Structure 1
Amino acid sequence: MTGLSTLIRGTGPALLLVHGAGGSVQANYGPVLAPLTQRFTVVAPDLPGSGASPNAAGPLELEALADDLVAVATGAGHESFFVAGYSMGCAVAVTAAVRHPERVRGLVLSAPFARIDAATRARVDRWESLLAGPREPLARYVLSVMCGEQYLSRLSPAQADGLVELIGASVPPGARAHLDLLTRIDLTDVLPRVTVPTLVIGASGDRLLSHDLGKQVADLVHGAEYADIACGHAIALESAAPWARLVTDFLASV
C-alpha cells in the first residue's frame, strides 16, 4: 500500500517508528517524539486507517505492512535504519528486520508479543465489539486497559473524563482492521530469526497485554536485552521520559 502519511523530523541516524493497533504516531509516540528527534531522524508513518493514511482495500497482512514501511524509510533516503515498534507495531518491526536484514540495524520492541494469549484475546475481542457502538463506552474501556492501575487511581474525575473524550474523538477508521491483524499474529517461529541487536521493553503494569508476553519475546530473540518500565500499556502517556532514555541509550550503544 502506498500513500501512508509520514512524519519525518530530526537529525542523526534514521529511526523508523511503528505504532500500535487502534493508535497513530501521535497517539502512541507523541510525548517521546521531541527527545527522539534530538538524536535521530525519525521516520514515522501512520498505518493504514490511522492519521491521514487511507484505509487498506482489504485485510492487513504483516509482511506487506513491513515491506511498505521499509519502502517509506528507503524512499525518504535512508539505506539502513533502526526500527522501534510499539505493541502490534513490534510485529511489523520484527517482520521488517527478518525480511530486510540489509536495511534494519537494530530493534527496540516495546510492549510486544509473539502471539496473544487467551486473556489478552478476550480484552481485544471486547475492544473490537465496542467499535460498533457509541464512542463513550468504547473510550472508557480503552482507557481502563491502556493505563495502569496506579496511573488511573491518580486521575481526578475531570481528568478521566477529558481522556475519555480525547480517546473517543481519535478512534481511527482502521481500528477494526488493526485489531483483526493483531489476533492473527504469530511470531513464534520468526523471532528466533532476528539477527540484529534487540531491546525488549515490558510494561509491568500492562492491563491490555499479559505481562509475560514481552518476556517471551525476549526469550525467543537470541541475545536480546530486556527492561521493564513500571507503567501500563500506554507507555508514552505514563512514562515518556524513561521510555525515551531506554530507546536512545540502547540504540546509541549499537
Structure 2
Amino acid sequence: MRVVSAEGTTVSYRRAGEGPGLVLLHGTNSDGQSGFGHLVDRFTDRRTVITPDYAGAGQSTIPDGPLSLDVLVSQVAAVIDDAGGGPVDLLGTSLGAVVSAATAAAHPEMIRRLILVAGWVSSDDARHRLVFETWKRLQALDPELSTRFGLSLALSPDFLAGLGPGQVGQLTARRFPAATDRRIDLGLRIDISGLLPKITAPTLVIGLSRDQLVPPYHARALHAAISGSRYEEIDSGHAVQVERPDELIRLARAFFHEQG
C-alpha cells in the first residue's frame, strides 16, 4: 500500500505487475481492492496495475464539506504522478467512470487510452434523481436497507435470483467504505457535459444492458458526447466485475493493447 497527498487529503493505492501503467477506478460504494482486487492479475502480465482508493474509501481521507469531483480528479492525478507519471491507460466504472472522464479532460497528457463503464454525463434526469435520492435517504436512515436496495439494483435480476441464500446474506452483510453517503450525494451533483469535448484520448464507452442503477442510455449519451469514441454493450447488471468479468477483461485488453 502506498500513500500520496492531494488537496489536503491522503490517497492510498496499490500497484502490481510491470509495464505501462493501467489505473482502475472504483465506484461509489467500493474501494480499489473490493472493486478490482480479483481482476488485477488479469492485467499484470503486460501492465503495472494501479488501484487507488479515493475520498473516504480504503485508507484515503476525505475533506470536510460536500465532496467535489475536482477533489477526486486531483487525487487520481496525484496517484498517477506518484506512481511514475503518465501517460497511463485508465478504466473507471460507475462513479469511477465519471472521475475517469473528468481526469482525461483535465489532464490529457496523463491519459493514453480511456475506458468508461456504466458512467453518466449528468444527474439531472428524473429517474437518476429518484434512485440516488432514495439511496441517499436509506443510507442515512438504515445502512443495511441501503445495502439491500443497492444490491437489488447493482445485480441483474437473473443473476441475483440465481444466487443462494448464503451468498445473498454475505453480500448484504458487507460493510461499505466510510463516507459512502457523501459519494452518493456527489452522484446527485454530476454534470460533466462541458468537460467531455476536451477528451482527446482514444475512448471506449461500455454500457451494461441490464443495468438498473445507471441504465445504458447514460453510457450512450457519454459515447455521443466524446468525439471519436467507440461504444460496446455487455449483457450485465451494474456490477459487471462480478457478473461478466471475462467479457469486461476481453474488451479492455483488446482496446488497451491496440497500437497508436
Distance 1:79 1:140 in 2: 39
Runs of 4+ with deviation above 3 angstroms: none
Q: Is 1:201–2:209 an aligned residue pair?
A: no
The corresponding residue for 2:82 is 75
Q: Deviations over 1:19-57 (max 9, x none)?
A: 111221122223322202232111111011111112322
The residue type equivalent to 1:49 in the other structure is: G
The residue type equivalent to 2:61 in the other structure is: P
Residue pair 2:92, 2:116 contacting (<8 A) in 1 also: yes
Give structure 1 stretches of 5+ with no counterpart.
none
Residue pair 2:212, 2:238 contacting (<8 A) in 1 also: yes
Note the C-alpha offset of 1:94: 1.2
Helix, strand or coil at the partner of 2:205: strand
The corresponding residue for 2:161 is 153
Distance 1:17 1:58 in 2: 26
1:136 to 144, 167, 172: 144
Q: Is 1:65–2:72 an aligned residue pair?
A: yes
The residue type equivalent to 1:138 in the other structure is: S
The corresponding residue for 2:228 is 223
The corresponding residue for 1:165 is 173
Distance 2:99 2:143 in 1: 28
Q: Taking structure 2 as the reference length, what is the TM-score of the superposition?
A: 0.92
Q: Deviations over 1:70-99 (max 9, x none)?
A: 111111112321111111111211111111
Bigger drift between 195-204 and 113-122 goes to: 113-122
Counterparts of 1:76-115 in structure 2, within 5 Å, are 76-115=83-122
Bigger drift between 69-78 and 196-205 goes to: 69-78
If asked which structure has higher relative contact order (CA below 8 Å, sep 6+), I would say 1
Bigger drift between 11-20 and 23-32 goes to: 23-32
Helix, strand or coil at the partner of 1:253: coil
Distance 1:138 1:6 in 2: 27
The corresponding residue for 1:47 is 54
Note the C-alpha offset of 1:220: 0.8
RMSD of aligned alpha carbons: 1.4
The corresponding residue for 1:250 is 255
Distance 1:55 1:193 in 2: 27
Helix, strand or coil at the partner of 1:37: coil
Q: Is 1:11–2:23 an aligned residue pair?
A: no
Residue pair 1:119, 1:210 contacting (<8 A) in 2 also: no
More helix by share: 1
The residue type equivalent to 2:11 in the other structure is: L
Q: Deviations over 1:119-148 (max 9, x none)?
A: 122111111111123333222111101101
Distance 2:111 2:197 in 1: 16
Q: Taking structure 1 as the reference length, what is the TM-score of the superposition?
A: 0.94
Give structure 2 stretches of 5+ with no counterpart.
1-6
Q: Is 1:124–2:129 an aligned residue pair?
A: no
Residue pair 1:70, 1:96 contacting (<8 A) in 2 also: yes
The residue type equivalent to 1:176 in the other structure is: D
The corresponding residue for 2:181 is 176
Q: How many residues align?
A: 251
